[in-house]
Amino acid sequence: MKLDTLKDYLHQFHSGTQQLFPNVKMNWLSKTEGIDGRWLDERDHLLKNKQGVYIFTTVTSDILYIGKAQESNSDICGRVWAHISTPSTERKASTTRENMIIYPGNKWINNVEERDDPVIGSGQFRIWAVAIEPSRYAALYEIAGLLFHQEAEDSLPRYNARLG
């Protein structure tokens, strides 16, 4: 499933639940380009102290993982860093001085698909996030996103092992 499809589903879900939960607010924090694999501390401010749903995608917007941060001691920034771990740099080729950011200690390093096709480890991913207020509703939006993906693709996203 592509990110734009999931965004549409989540917007429809949000609109459809407003009668039941009129105080819930949904705000996309990374609206147009997402946060790419070169993301370092200077981009943390977008996600610090925010609770909600975060989504890892490929650079072509295929969804890899949907997660949530909803507790007061767990913001989106902290949850994302817990998944990708500390980045390091690697020279792209011996003929160039350009370095690329890689994530060799990411949470999915032992996943067969990540070993065979290292999307997260190679830094070839984007991070998207939507703040949900009040934060206790983040789990509802995460489950909705996972169910929408499962319904459309007949499977969970590549790195989600289970619902919730």
Over residues 20-74, the pLDDT tens digits come to 999 999 998 865 555 655 554 445 566 677 889 999 999 899 999 999 998 766 7
Of 84, 79, 73, 4, residue with least CA distance to 36: 84
CA-based end-to-end distance of the chain:
18
Of 116, 132, 122, residue with least CA distance to 50: 132
**pLDDT-based confidence at 114, cuts 50/70/90?**
confident
Neighbours of 116 (CB within 10 A): 7
pTM: 0.85
Mean pLDDT of 125-141: 91
Backbone angles phi, psi at 39, to 5 degrees: -60, 125
Neighbours of 71 (CB within 10 A): 13
Of 122, 115, 120, residue with least CA distance to 100: 122
What kind and span of H or E run contains 90?
strand 88-91
Token pair of 8 as six digits: 């549409």
Token pair of 119 as six digits: 């999307």
- What is the rounded CA–CA span in Å between residue 69 and residue 1? 22
> Tell me: the pLDDT tens digits for 9-18?
999 999 999 9
Sign for the pseudo-dihedral over CA of 40, 45, 51, 57:
negative
